[in-house]
C-alpha cells in the first residue's frame, strides 16, 4: 500500500503537487520547541529533524526544508543552538537553549505527544485499511472483505471520532 505524504509549508499541510492545504500543521513556535527538544536528545542535522518528524507522524507529513532550515538558523541566531561551520550543518543545543526548553518543557512535551499520537492513529488506520482490502473470500466474482476486519475499522473510526469530539 502506498502512503500519502504531506508537506508542512508555513502552517499548512499540503499534498505534493497540490496547492490546497490538507489541514493545519505545526505552528512556528511548536516547530521551534520540537527542534530544540530533538536536538537536546542529540546533535542533529536539519535533515534528521525532518526525518524524525516524518517518523513520529508515520510519514503522514514532512515539514518543508524551507521552514525547518530558517527555524534552525533563527534558533542559532537567538543563541539557543550552535551550528557547525561547514554544510551539512550539525546543530547542538546551548545552555541558553536548554534553559529556554526547560521553561517551555510542558508545551514541547504536548507537541511531541501530539505528533506521536497522530503517528499511532495513522498507523492504526493504515493497518485497518490494509486488513479490509485483503480479500478473504470471493462471492459471485466480487471481492468481499472479512467481517472481523471491517468491524475493526469501524471500531478505530468510532474511537477517532470520539477523540476528536472530546477535544
Q: Given this model, what pLDDT does residue 69 score?
A: 96
User: What average pLDDT does this structure show over 147-158?
Assistant: 60
Tell me the H-state helices in 78-146. Answer: 95-103, 105-133
Length of the chain: 167
Q: Given this model, what pLDDT does residue 24 score?
A: 44
Distance in angstroms (rounded) separating the CA atoms of residues 135 and 124: 19
CATH of 6-166 among 1.10.10.10, 3.40.718.10, 3.40.710.10, 1.20.200.10: 1.10.10.10
55 in helix, strand or coil? helix
Distance in angstroms (rounded) separating the CA atoms of residues 140 and 124: 31
pTM of the model: 0.66
Contact 67, 8 (CB under 8 A): yes
Q: Given this model, what pLDDT does residue 20 score?
A: 40
Helix (H) or strand (E) run with residue 160 in it = helix 147-166
Amino acid at each position: 500500500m502506498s502512503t500519502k505524504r504531506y508537506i508542512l509549508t508555513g502552517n499548512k499541510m499540503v499534498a505534493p503537487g497540490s496547492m490546497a492545504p490538507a489541514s493545519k500543521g505545526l505552528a512556528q513556535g511548536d516547530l521551534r520547541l520540537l527542534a530544540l527538544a530533538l536536538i537536546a536528545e542529540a546533535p542533529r542535522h536539519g535533515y534528521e529533524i525532518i526525518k524524525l518528524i516524518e517518523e513520529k507522524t508515520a510519514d503522514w507529513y514532512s515539514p518543508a526544508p524551507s521552514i525547518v532550515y530558517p527555524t534552525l538558523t533563527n534558533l542559532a541566531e537567538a543563541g539557543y543552538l550552535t551550528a557547525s561551520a561547514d554544510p551539512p550543518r550539525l546543530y547542538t543545543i546551548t545552555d541558553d537553549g536548554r534553559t529556554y526548553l526547560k521553561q517551555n518543557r510542558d508545551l514541547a512535551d504536548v507537541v511531541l505527544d501530539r505528533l506521536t499520537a497522530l503517528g499511532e492513529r495513522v498507523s492504526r488506520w493504515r493497518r485497518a485499511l490494509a486488513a479490509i482490502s485483503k480479500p478473504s473470500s470471493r462471492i459471485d466474482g466480487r471481492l468481499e472483505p472479512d467481517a472481523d476486519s471491517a468491524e475493526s475499522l469501524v471500531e478505530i473510526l468510532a474511537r477517532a471520532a470520539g477523540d476528536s469530539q472530546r477535544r
